[in-house]
Amino acid sequence: MTGDGSGGIAGRYRSPLHDTRAAAVLGLALGVAFTTCFVTGLLSHAIQHPPSWFSWPARPAGAYRVTQGLHVAAGLASIPLLGAKLWVVAPRFWARPAVPDLAKGVERAMLFPLVAGGTFLLVTGTLNTFQWYPWGFSFTDAHHWAAWITIGGLVAHVGAKATVTLTSLRSRDRAGVAGRRRFLGAVAFGSAALTVATVGQTVGPLRRLSVLAPRDPQVGPQGLPVNKTARGAGIRASDVDGSYRLRVSGRVAEELELTLADLEAMPQHSAELPIACVEGWSASARWTGVRLRDVLRQARAADGAGVEIGSIQRGGRYRASTVTAGPADDPDTLLALRLDGETLALDHGYPVRLIAPNRPGVLQTKWVKELIVR
Amino acid sequence: MLLGGAVTLFGAIGLLRTIGDGLGSFIAYFVGGALLLDLVAVPLASGVGLLGRRRVPAAAWPAVRAGLVATATLTLFAAPLVADLGGRPDNPSLRPRHYGSGLLTALAVVWLGCLVAAAVAHRRYGTNSRNRPRSRKPTEA
């Protein structure tokens, strides 16, 4: 037993598994998982809201699908880890006195942002993969700031427990090792089961095994999943008929108004690129269209300028995105007209969508109607 | 400790600046989650564990426990999908599977493995107290 606060509710926990070593191992696993989530999550945030010093390259083309796939997989795998850890340390939760001294009081107080924040992140993150938002706050803002709140708690907890954890992990004390291994094995089994049941939404070859995955990378219009449908974006038939024009303006020598026929007459280029979304799923496809840089050259855009891509979609956070100079010049950054050889489906952004390597799904703007060179 | 506190404070300030009307809902979820875990889920798990240890033959218990952990994890995760909470009917590429049967399939696979492992352990170690999986104290909950 850990030896603090016997009697009362704490004393009711008699299993020898409520020990320091089990807590240490689970703590280490959770630390690794949450740190992975924090780093990959912050990266995803920075790509979408770049601070002035940050730039995200266009290569390797599949880096974002890996980092975001890892983010969601690590988060889901943490679910049984967090539950088990809280069970192992449960006797301490009830320990009396609650605040023996100031240092211990602060240490315990910082557990609140860690436990509450960790739970909040796992719940909101998981529900986001289902696209279910039964709450009154903005998911992206709340999830992002809760991450900072939680990591602060994690840093404090690591600081408080570092010595005891390292001592415990290095200890050669063999008492209870078989029982503890079986227990930890059970927890690992839970994580593995959930991982196998879901990770096929981004790891294509496993898609048949992942019976609980909220997405299948091969299911959707034209065999590719969709987040925002045309109906969800408020796209009307009159927006995409013969009156459609792609307008190019801003820091250009020549403003353009291109019809769909004009775009189809330009040299076409194909690229195999993934759509990778924040929910942790990704799917690759063959896109065909006009190179963004070719359109910019035709308009004689200013050198080294970025481009704001605007959509027919009228509201919402993601109705426009920015392509910086580097990715704008990439030969695989396309204004796509075709998906796997077929004309783009309306739900995939007909008549034109942006598709670029190593770019989060929300920034692959659909129903593109204007390029503003800045 | 100080660094952790500073980081948390940074997060809290950022939250307050951007959350607007959603603050009440945020607090409810933030506090509620931790309370549900510590006051409901953990004691429930303890109760199930207690029951399991008493009813299941000792050698078979570790495999059965593994099955229970996996069952709780998968069911908790899949519940909103099985109950079809919050879906979007205009987007068939979202939640394209039959999650009820998917969950049952997953649980069947889990329990097939666990019951086989439990039976093997029970046969091998039986109720021979010398070979029972050892623990630190002679009495255990």
pLDDT digits (tens, 9 = 90+) for A260-280: 999 999 999 999 999 999 999
DSSP state of B38: I
In this predicted structure, the answer to whether residue B104 has a pLDDT above a threshold of 80 is yes
Assess whether B71 and B114 both reside in one domain: yes
- Is residue B97 within 8 A of residue A213, CB to CB? The reply is yes
Last residue of a domain, one of B32, B55, B78: B55
Question: Per the domain annotation, does B5 fall within a domain?
Answer: no
Assess whether B40 and B89 both reside in one domain: no
Sign of CA dihedral A348, A354, A358, A360: negative
Assess whether B94 and B138 both reside in one domain: yes
Pairing of strands A246-250, A368-373: parallel
Query: What confidence tier does A1 reach under pLDDT thresholds 50, 70, 90?
Result: very low
Query: What confidence tier does A290 reach under pLDDT thresholds 50, 70, 90?
Result: very high
Q: What is the structure's pLDDT at A3? A: 44
B97 and A216: CB-CB below 8 Å?
yes
User: Which regions of chain A carry the CATH code 3.90.420.10?
Assistant: 221-373
Assess whether B34 and B47 both reside in one domain: yes
Last residue of a domain, one of B55, B75, B99: B55
Q: For residue A357, what are its two tokens?
A: 């390597």
B72 and A186: CB-CB below 8 Å?
no
Task: Select the CATH number that applies to the domain covering A221-373 from these four: 3.30.70.100, 3.90.420.10, 3.90.1300.10, 3.60.21.10.
Answer: 3.90.420.10
CA distance A306 to chain B (A): 27
Query: Is residue B106 within a helix (H) or strand (E), and if so which, with residue range?
Result: helix B99-125
List the single range of A105-114, A171-180, B9-18, B102-111 with lowest mean pLDDT.
Answer: A171-180
Assess whether B44 and B88 both reside in one domain: no
Answering whether pTM is above 0.95, one says no
Assess whether B74 and B96 both reside in one domain: yes
Question: Per the domain annotation, does B28 fall within a domain?
Answer: yes
Q: Choose among B25, B43, B97: nearest Cβ to A137.
A: B25
CA distance A155 to chain B (A): 5
In this predicted structure, the answer to whether residue A295 has a pLDDT above a threshold of 80 is yes
User: Is B38 within 8 Å of chain A by CB?
Assistant: yes
Question: Per the domain annotation, does B15 fall within a domain?
Answer: no
Query: What confidence tier does A4 reach under pLDDT thresholds 50, 70, 90?
Result: very low
User: What distance in Å separates the CA atoms of residue A141 and residue A304, rounded to the nearest whole number?
Assistant: 31
User: Is A27 within 8 Å of chain B by CB?
Assistant: no
Assess whether B86 and B128 both reside in one domain: yes
Assess whether B117 and B71 both reside in one domain: yes
- Number of structural domains in chain B: 2
Q: A212: which chain B residues are within 8 Å (Cβ-Cβ)?
A: 74, 77-78, 81, 97, 99, 102-103, 106
Assess whether B48 and B62 both reside in one domain: no
Assess whether B30 and B73 both reside in one domain: no
Q: For residue B13, what are its two tokens?
A: 């300030």
User: Is A78 within 8 Å of chain B by CB?
Assistant: no
- Which domain range does residue B86 map to? 57-141
Given strand A307-311, what is the order of strands in its sheet? A256-258, A246-250, A368-373, A307-311, A320-323
CA distance A267 to chain B (A): 32
